[in-house]
Structure 1
Amino acid sequence: MQTAVACHYPASVQGNVTQNVSFLSGANVSNYPLGAANATRTDPFRVLEEVKRLTLERLGGLPGALYGPIEDALALSATHFERNAFQYEDQAALWSLRHQQAAQVMRYRQQLAKGFDEFRTMRAASRRGFLSMGLLDEAQLDMHIAGERMAEVLSQRYQKPLEALEARLHVLAQTLGLQAMVNPVGPGRLATAFVDAFDGVRVPGQLRSHLFQFYEDHLARTLDELYGQADALLAQAGYGVTREGSKDVAPHVAPGSSGGAALQQEPGQDVTLDELRSLLHAWREGTVRPENVPASHAPQRALQGRRDLRVEEVVSVASLLHGEPTDTFARALAGTGELGRSIRERLGEGARRLGLSPDHTTIGRDSEDAIDLVAMVFESLFATQDLHERCRRLYARLVLPYVKVALGDRALFDRAEHPARKLLDAITEACAGNNAETPFERELFERAALSAQRVAVEYHENMAVFEQAFAELDALLLQQRQRVFLQEERAAQAVHGRERLQHAREQADAVVGRRLSAQPLCEAIAGFLGTSWRHHLVQVLLRDGVDSARFAEALALGDALAEADMLAARAEGRALATRLLTLERTIVDCLASSGLDDSAAQHGLVSLVRGLAWPDAPRSVHALPPRIEAGDDGEDRKLWLAGGTDTVATLAPAMVQSLRALAVGDWLRLKNADGVLVNAKVGWISPLTSRRLLVNDRGGRVLVAAVEELAALAEQGRLHVAPPPRAFSRALAEVGERLRRAGS
């Protein structure tokens, strides 16, 4: 199957620069504060070239270096499982790729270098280029989707070093006079380079998974050092920020901003487990206002003779309850806020069965933390995600397994790539907004339910259950991501088509308006120019463009008709007849572009000739008549601003600049007209108007707006920068905000 889409992704230098990096060979992080700057800065082009050299030195040997580990992984897989047709296909494809590795490495290096060229010239490649629309088979589309997913993972993993490095690169970009920049060694650029290295190559699914897994692993071992060296190099070359007092300080700079009111991160995103537990303890122990603490989270006061249950004992109790009905959890997820209490009650019942009487035991503080955090994360998922009622039973099955994970592994709340987090993210991706209206949606929901059931039955402190359930569900989710990708493409093309039409109309109106007002014209000529010729100009502009020969011919037709009208006014019948004969075919073609058949076009020509037959007909200059077009999308051009457009002119330049620097694929959180927070991604940037198309998780259009309109929303607190919408991470951030609000 092939799908029509457009897919594009988001000599050593001598002198003091080279000397400055001679000591960096073993550095993992910069020893320089962000603001450390020399009195003078090194030539920015030389510094950028040195960062490029470092990048090519560290990464330039890929992807050829991956094939050995991949071959070992395929061989190991073959020893544990019966060989099948897919394994033979992977082996054959790997053999073919290894014979092309020189070309792949060359393309990869070229793409890495291209990132630095785009930085210098501010020609960041758009992911979508409608002029290069072509056929892309599903295997290639899968490569692009896998690349985007890997870029999201790396962006989260290296968030802090990326922020520091990009702040320095922003200063360097300003030195070059650039208003915006895209990090040439950012995860998006590295993913794009890798995908483009396999352009035109079909990679089977299992082999593709290994390729990205080992590429990501290689980057994980390399990027700490690369980012540290690049950061130190930029610092030593003087690309920091101004000093504040006696210290160099790093500003909170959004991409592309120059200080002032810049676009801010969504509140609550930078939350740590230690901070959550501290807030949770204060909340649960009553040091905040008592009315903010529900009874379900009231602390179990230590009584005489009671001991804290060990974590192992609580896990054993939870394991005892694995196969039992979870109706109480499902009811608690209906919005009552009682999930924590329900979990405690069930654990209390299980403890009695094991002979652990509540008269002599109590749940310890660490176990309380695990129970409360899991309960609040699950409650937050239902508060922030578009989950239907039928999802409650599915999630209820997962409550106790996730309590067990939280009891024994704090990494559940610390590490975004934890297998249990990845599975919950995948289940939420499958269920959120899923109305089960199509066979595919029903299959997706059923697969998610089976994954939940599998974990509920099979999890006994072995994380492989989560990994296997995730792998099976993620394989089906890949099809959904393809659908989302294509939905984004359709939304972008629809907006682009309307913008092209509007732009062509405006160009045509300007031409026709000048022609009608240039000289007195009879009604017949003025009417033809204001209707049929006007429509013809629009069609030619859309199909051939303003620089085409056809457009020049169309313009010449208007001028020729105006000259014909002058001949008619002077009663020069012979010259008029000759002129009309030479224009006959062109006039008929013009009329035909309005949808008239040959007969109707000939009739229109006769009417035009008849109007020129009277020299004494009244003539005057004409105004451009109002346009009447079917399907005009006036709604699309309306500003979506709560306060109207009066405040747009007073926006802070830094805010506008921050938003202008957002690239395709960047995520935001947007409060819509109904006051509901929604995830929104920059899906496309118009090459005509620079408007941004924002799409949701499912690829549907959320908003089409100018940067100034988005800045107005940001200043109202309705728009924030946000990380990629991973369900568990967002729920955890919401828990942190909820606890902070309770303590304020």
Structure 2
Amino acid sequence: MKDAAQKNIIMMSQYEKPRVIPGSSGAFLLNDCRDMAVSRLAKALSSMMEKAVDDLFDLSEQSLNFEMRNLYMEAMTIARDKRGVIETGFKQRFVQGFNKETRGDKSAQPENALDAAEFSLVAPDDLEESLAIINITNSIHGDCAEELFGLEKRLGVLLHDPDLLNTNNPLGPEVIGKSFMNSMKDLDCPVKIKLLLVTMFNKHMPRQIKGIYQEINLHLADKGVLEKIRMGAKKRPESGAAVLPEQTDATPEAAAGAQVASGETGLFATLQQLLMRGAAAGGGAPQGQGAGTGIGAPLGQGVGTGIGALFGQGSGVGSPLAGGAVQGTSVVGSLTRLQHGQLEGVMGADSKLDAALLANGHVNVLHEIKSSSVAGAMGHVDAMTLDIVAMLFDYILDDRRIPDAMKALIGRLQIPVLKVAMLDKTFFSQKSHPARKLLDRLAEISIGWNESEGHQGGLYQTVDDQIQRILNEFDDQVGIFSEVLDSLEQFLVDEKKRIDTLTGLSAQHIHQLEQQEIARIMAHDEIRRRIHAGQLPEVIGNFLVDSWEDVLAAEYAKAGEEGEPWTRAIETMDELIWSATPKREADERKQLVGLLPSLLKRLQDGMVQVSMPDAERDQFFAKLVKCHADAIKSGLGGMTQEAAAQSAFLVEEFDAEEAVELARQAEEPAEFVEIPVLQDVIEPDPVFVQAVSAAPDVELDGGWQTLTIGDVAWQGPMESAGDDFDAMVKRLKRGTWIEFEQEGGESTRVKLAWVSPLKGLFLFTNRLGEKAVSITPAGLARRLRSGRAQIIEDIALVDRAVNNLMEHLKQAA
């Protein structure tokens, strides 16, 4: 135990070899900062790992993908069981990285660095890990820009390097990112697991690192190192980094804001690096490789896409922004003219682009623009932006989730989106960017649209109008995208009211059918128990099964088990049975005579209620008179052998018929059942309809309860022995889209609108709620298992497009 504990102790003295600094105070302060950083980063890392265990477990529970669920569980196990190994490795490598920077040892290439000339030799896993370091670095920069500005200035004083680069900061994000990735080198786990842990790192660590940087800054200021930082020096550019303008009166907050603005372009910087390295490796910039993967297998499912984990994270100060500034207004102006359909003086004479092609939306016109004079006027960064946006639209225009007609409308936004990306690189990294939100929302609402809705109104016309508004009005103010999104959302809110009403009617229809089925089960169960009690004349038993079961079901449906109609019908049945049993005592015979007028009246009322034919009714009453006579006679002499035999045969016959029916129900295939159009055939229940439309869009796992009605099991949870498809069905959320094959090979898309709390039936509707089908959970799992139904994964359009682009750029590299 003692030896194991000693292995986790880092002896700082073995690393204390900083570059020579006049006076002992500088070296002391550097070592002090190092010790503070190591101690606090280790605690933060330990806390992060604890949170990662919970997060990864939750993700595994929520995942519909078997492979991803296993990855989450493996990553959770590593975070739980290997935490000490990672923490120790991190501390060791952080101290090594700190001393390497303070010594100024630049002779050796840093671990995980990527040299463009040798990029083609980099193994795929090494590339993933190197990009993950960039990801971590960008995330920390994005949260800690202000703290890093002060820290670099103060450490620059201690290291006698007033222009200390952020990449050379011994306490900087680069050192932290490399230390974390290298701490996992000794783990026997695939790179996908490491990238999942990077995602957890980026989620939980940057804000804690921000506090650590603040503490170190305060410590150095208290020791007299730049108590106040004067702004005004021009920051040296680094490898395409932004050049911060001179600021004579700038505040640290303003400078930090400029750095954060630069930092938010990190994903674009990563795409840019991959594009350049792909060209260096001989792959060139891939074009037209945006093929989608189809429903059910979207790119970006998880860390299998590797760099997909980068998407949506923060970014670093070292991202190219100044180089990405638009080269004057001429390029944007030319693009705006193209956006308005004006080609004269913009495209060359040999251009194949015309106004019709611009308005078409089905074709990626950005590839044609790449060979025009417009692209020739672009700077290096803008030209690469054009490449990246063109590849994004390659994917979008090939995405089979989106119907062709709606895809063409979205395709008309190619030039506006290109302008947005040129003007504001945060388009790639900010999920809240208005242009990106609009693209994602358009794709989302288009999933269920089909040609039957038409082009002259409704959703198609609304989207067409709003996209035309962007084409007409968008110059260089991205606020128009927010306005258009708001207008679109208002239309959807108004449309949802009518959709909710129709969905509520379909749900009400299912609910009524289920209530009727419950009533039938209750009635059947009550009759079965009385037949099994024995000594029941055949005429009475047949009447109960063939007619009175309908009466009982109807009365139960009125007010339930506690209602007076049900209670009265049960009493009538019991009195009928009693009236046909042997009457041995004089009081019993007298009681029968007094009961008959009321009993016969109630029996007749029940027969009328279920529309029993008059002939059958008269025949039953004639046989009942004989039963009563036999009851009196048999009471004097006992039950005849013939009557006893009839009673036994009735029990056997009832059980045989019930077994056949149960077998038929078990073998009956659970398929989608179409629900008829209900506007004129069902009376709306406003309370029920409102309850259906207001139900939360949450996971349905455990969303229904087990009921036992008599001896009949109603709805219970799926068996634990079910396969992945059963688990997938249990995790479905309201609003999930399913594409299922119909007879003849055609496919239809429906969304999960409601789940019955009684039987657990799934109600699916089309986008407008006008067509509805229902299916059992087991039936849906069977459909998914056979490939006749596929879940359309809920992954945003731009997420999928960028993940696809990342994969192709890495392959090219």
Q: What TM-score does the superposition give when structure 2 sets the normalisation length? A: 0.45
Largest Rg, 1 or 2: 2
Relative contact order (C-alpha < 8 Å, sep 6+): which is higher? 1
